[in-house]
């Protein structure tokens, strides 16, 4: 019975992945092992489930019918397991979480690592990527998103807080170029931009009426990594628009100073997102609980530190 169920799980993964190679990657198996499992299943059922080509494997008519029944059966099994799991005290099993690279590494990862120390039966797989993953298609239990939720059909979301952004620069840059007094002054400064594929992300600020104001900035440097922007700002390359939690330590050390604190701060909403499920598994619930409880603390700490660091007076060079 165990082998039969294993073959069904492999078949469903292969059908949803559109190929044996990707299914093998998700299952942690070799492509050969996936192919053999499917072959044994086809032999037992007496029918061909996949139409194989050199590039991809697609379901046959029988395969499509079998897939739909298997998905319903597995959903029932997952619901039964989740119903029992919700009553357990200690979360166990593999927890797959997706998070943006820097926020995930600096803010989420330490909390989730702590969770695994509290619950030795919990296995954490934390994937860092700045792209928006498809939780259901790619098999993730949870994602942490620093962005508006444009489309979350089939998903449940819980707000974790707001990531405040701040304009900053090194004391050396301010000494040479002066301190911008208004948002309009940003156009007269060198900016270090975040962007990909030749397109820079605009700098957005609250307009005082509940909306946003896009401020045009210009500069010769553009990176697709916020840490690199912070490092360049420390070296005096220009103004940077960065999350408070990322620059807090640099501000505390005097490597950066914050600018336009009255009108230059803007928050990006942060959410924990997971597939809708009538019975939330205890491992997912435990992860959400620790994120909800501790992420706001990390965000406010970074914001307060970037606000409260003592700044030395800056003298403009002659």
Q: Is residue 243 part of a domain?
A: yes
What is the model's pLDDT at position 62? 92
What is the model's pLDDT at position 86? 56
**Residue 229 · residue 192 · CB < 8 Å:** yes
What is the model's pLDDT at position 21? 84
Residues 6+ apart with CB under 8 A from 144: 97, 98, 99, 100, 103, 104, 108, 160, 270, 271, 272, 273, 291
Domain co-membership, 275 together with 154: yes
What is the model's pLDDT at position 58? 85
Percent of all residues in the chain with a pLDDT value above 70, rounded to a whole number: 84
Residues 6+ apart with CB under 8 A from 165: 241, 242, 243, 244, 265, 266, 267, 268
Domain co-membership, 156 together with 276: yes
Domain co-membership, 61 together with 109: no
Domain co-membership, 155 together with 180: no
Please say which residue of 34, 57, 85 terminates a domain. Answer: 85
Cite the DSSP H helix spans in the chain. Answer: 2-17, 20-27, 31-45, 61-85, 101-103, 109-118, 135-138, 171-177, 226-234, 244-252, 282-308
Domain co-membership, 182 together with 258: yes
Token couple for 172: 């050396």
Q: Which of 227, 3, 235 is nearest to 103 (CA)?
A: 227
Range of the domain at 32: 2-85
Separation CA 285–CA 90 (nearest Å): 11
Q: Is residue 60 part of a domain?
A: yes
More confident residue, 5 or 243: 243
Domain co-membership, 221 together with 240: yes
Residue with tokens 């690592």: 113
What is the CATH number for 151? 3.40.190.10
Residues belonging to the chain:
318
Domain co-membership, 179 together with 48: no
Taking only the tens place, the pLDDT of each residue in 43-80 is: 999 999 998 776 667 899 999 999 888 888 887 777 67
**Residue 262 · residue 186 · CB < 8 Å:** no
Domain co-membership, 286 together with 144: yes
User: Which backbone phi and psi does 185 adopt, to 5 degrees?
Assistant: -70, -20
Domain co-membership, 116 together with 197: no
What is the CATH number for 13? 1.10.10.10
Q: Is residue 318 part of a domain?
A: no
Please say which residue of 39, 61, 85 terminates a domain. Answer: 85
For residue 89, the 8-state DSSP code is: S
What is the model's pLDDT at position 175? 96
Give 50's strand partners: 59
Mean of the pLDDT values across residues 21-39? 86
What is the model's pLDDT at position 310? 41
Confidence bin at 164 (pLDDT 50/70/90): confident
Q: Is residue 61 part of a domain?
A: yes
Q: Which of 225, 204, 194, 254 is nearest to 105 (CA)?
A: 225
Could you give the dihedral angle defined by the CA atoms of residues 56, 60, 63 and 67, in that order, rounded to the nearest 10 degrees? 60
Domain co-membership, 42 together with 24: yes
- Domain count of the chain? 3
């Amino acid at each position: 019975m165990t082998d039969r169920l294993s073959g069904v799980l492999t078949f469903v993964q292969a059908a949803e992945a559109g190929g044996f190679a990707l299914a093998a990657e998700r299952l942690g198996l070799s492509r050969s092992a996936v192919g053999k499992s499917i072959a044994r299943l086809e032999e037992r059922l007496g029918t061909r489930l996949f139409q194989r080509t050199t590039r991809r494997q697609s379901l046959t008519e029988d395969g499509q019918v079998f897939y739909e029944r298997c998905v319903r059966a597995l959903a029932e099994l997952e619901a039964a397991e989740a119903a029992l799991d919700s009553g357990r005290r200690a979360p166990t099993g593999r927890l797959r979480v997706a998070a943006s690279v820097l926020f995930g590494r600096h803010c989420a990862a330490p909390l989730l690592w702590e969770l695994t120390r509290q619950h030795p039966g919990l296995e954490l797989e934390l994937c860092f990527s700045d792209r928006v993953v498809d939780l259901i298609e790619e098999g993730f239990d949870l994602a942490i998103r620093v962005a508006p939720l444009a489309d979350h059909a089939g998903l449940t979301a819980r707000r974790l807080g707001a990531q405040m952004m701040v304009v900053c620069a090194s004391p050396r840059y301010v000494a040479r170029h002066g301190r911008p007094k208004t948002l309009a002054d940003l156009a007269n400064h060198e900016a270090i931009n975040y962007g990909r594929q030749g397109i820079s992300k605009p700098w957005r600020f609250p307009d005082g009426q509940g909306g946003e104001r896009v401020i045009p900035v210009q500069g010769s440097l553009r990176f697709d990594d916020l840490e690199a922007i912070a490092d360049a700002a420390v070296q005096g390359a220009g103004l940077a628009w960065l999350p408070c939690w990322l620059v807090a330590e640099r501000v505390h050390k005097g490597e950066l100073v914050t600018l336009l604190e009255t009108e230059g701060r803007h928050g990006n909403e942060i959410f924990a997102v997971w597939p809708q499920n009538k019975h939330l598994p205890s491992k997912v619930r435990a992860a959400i609980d620790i994120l909800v409880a501790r992420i706001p603390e990390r965000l406010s700490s970074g914001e307060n530190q970037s606000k409260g660091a003592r700044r030395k007076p800056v003298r403009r060079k002659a």
